[in-house]
Amino acid sequence: MFDAGDTSFIIICAALVLLMTPGLALFYGGLGRRKNMVSNMMNSAFIMGMGIVLYMLVGYSLSFGDDILNFIGSLKNVGLMGITKDSLTKSIPTFAFIAFQMMFALITPAIITGSIAGRMRFKALFLFIALWSIFVYYPLAHMVWGEGGLIGGVIGALDFAGGDVVHISSGTTGLILAILIGRRVDYMQISYRIHNVPFVFLGMGLLLFGWFGFNAGSALAASGLAAHAFMTTAVSAAAGMLMWIFIDVMKQGKATLIGACTGVIAGLVGITPAAGFVDMWAALIIGVTVSPVCYCGIALIKRVFKIDDALDAFGCHGIGGIWGGILTGVFVNPAINGGQPGLIYGKVSQFFAQIEGIFITFVMVTVGTLLCAGIVSIFTPLRVDRREELVGLDISEHGESAYPSFTGLD
């Protein structure tokens, strides 16, 4: 018999995680250029439709079906066959578990779109996200969270709420696509300004609100562990924000709202794999350290390697996810939620398991992304042409404008 309290909690958390995708649309929309506002938001919006349908058809079965070679689930539950309202996963109905995990499958590919903002053809992106979900996200979710999965089951790497599955996978994919597609036509040639700072703050607020469901809900019960994950999430996010403000003041002499918002996201990403495994003081350290790591990573990517990761999907999510995964192996306290003692307690096994899990994730995502991009390029060019890019993707790809009365320069 299912537990009514746990069920209510998970359904609410699923709704909170769903809210993160429109929150990300506002966040990316505000960060991007005025002429690409609709495009940046549409890139997140269509995934809400595609992701739910795909997850119902094959996503759940491939992610949590019977294990095949420690890599992927079977098609036993294709179309959610064999699952009824009375099916149980722990103390909650399986449909509640499916709904919660389905929302993860929406926000993850939406994060990717930040790296290619303003230059990827919508048709190509649509096909790519569909293929990527099937060939990368679902197998990776099984490897980390599915019974018998290679990363979580065999190696024993810990990922409480999606450091590997969500952030490293989406950030790495974004970086690879940014390299494949190339820089924007005027990259590093003209002054670039974020066009709508209030939208960025609103998007960050919705992401922060949803992230509590994201991390606390990963306990899969209304329990002390959920409360613990809620608190570590709050502590890391706050520390990440304060640290980024400090960096802004040291570098520029002024605190910026964009910097504060970015610091919150970095802190949230860093704590995601560790939220249910580390103490509060460790969450504080993760938040304090992830902001300078991401800040330096973004500078390295853009200024040294000159890769046009437009809205810093890899800089925040990829690098932050890697850092959080590593520090999980340093600070994990088995008294909280199992696992082997972390490096700080004198044990190295969990630390090396984390490194191995991150490496496997990176390799798998890289190969899968290149495969999916190659398939898509057979049917349509990945990138819009120069004129379409200069006009803006709002008009050239979608035929509408976020600001139809605006007639000035972008």
Query: Where do the domains of the chain lie, and which CATH numbers do they carry?
Result: 4-394 (1.10.3430.10)
Quick one: which H or E segment has residue 299?
A: helix 280-299
Question: Is the confidence at residue 409, as pLDDT, over 60?
Answer: no
Q: Do 55 and 144 touch, CB atoms closer than 8 A?
A: no
Extract the tokens encoding 13.
């958390």
Q: Which two tokens stand for residue 78?
A: 């294709």
H-run or E-run covering 137: none
């919508």: which residue's tokens? 122
Query: Could you tell me whether strands 88-89 and 72-73 are parallel, antiparallel, or unpaired per DSSP bridges?
Result: unpaired
What is the average pLDDT score of the chain?
96
pLDDT digits (tens, 9 = 90+) for 180-207: 999 999 887 777 779 999 999 999 999 9
DSSP 88: E
Is the pLDDT at 404 greater than 90, yes or no?
no
Cα-based distances in Å from 112 to 12, 133, 166, 359: 25, 12, 10, 19
Q: Tell me the CA distances in angstroms from 186 to 114, 163, 173, one per residue in order.
A: 17, 33, 23
Q: What are the tens digits of pLDDT across the range 34-57?
A: 999 999 999 999 999 999 999 999
Q: Please state, for a pLDDT cut of 70, what percent of the chain lies above it.
A: 99
Structural contact between residues 276 and 262, judged by C-beta atoms closer than 8 angstroms = no
Question: How many angstroms separate the CA atoms of 367 and 370, rounded?
Answer: 5
Q: What's the rounded mean pLDDT across residues 263-283?
A: 98
Query: Is the pLDDT at 408 greater than 80, yes or no?
Result: no
From residue 134, alpha-carbon distances to 109, 140, 164, 218, 391 in Å are 11, 10, 16, 22, 33
**Tell me, what's the pLDDT at 1?**
80
Answer whether 206's CB lies under 8 Å from 19's CB.
Answer: yes
Burial label for 143, CB within 10 Å (0-12, 13-18, 19+), is buried
pLDDT tens figures, 364-387: 999 999 999 999 999 999 999 999
**pLDDT at residue number 405:** 75
CB-based contact 34:410 (threshold 8 Å): yes
Alpha-carbon torsion 93, 105, 361, 314, what sign?
negative
Is 348's pLDDT higher than 60?
yes
Handedness of CA 295, 300, 301, 304 (dihedral sign): positive
Angle 401-402-404 (CA atoms, 0-180°, nearest 5)? Answer: 60
Answer yes or no: is pLDDT of 407 > 70. Answer: no
Q: What mean pLDDT comes out for the span 15-20?
A: 98
Is a pLDDT exceeding 60 seen at residue 238? yes
From the number of C-beta atoms within 10 Å of its C-beta (0-12, 13-18, 19+), residue 401 rates as middle
Residues 213-241 have a mean pLDDT of: 98
Give yes or no for residue 234 having a pLDDT over 90: yes
* pLDDT value of position 317: 98
CA distance 285 to 236: 8
Percent of the chain with pLDDT over 90: 95
Residue 410 has pLDDT above 60, yes or no: no
Residue among 115, 125, 142, 129 nearest 50 (CA) = 129
- Count of CB atoms situated within 10 Å of the CB of 148: 16
Is 224 exposed, middle or buried (CB count within 10 Å of its CB: 0-12, 13-18, 19+)?
Answer: exposed
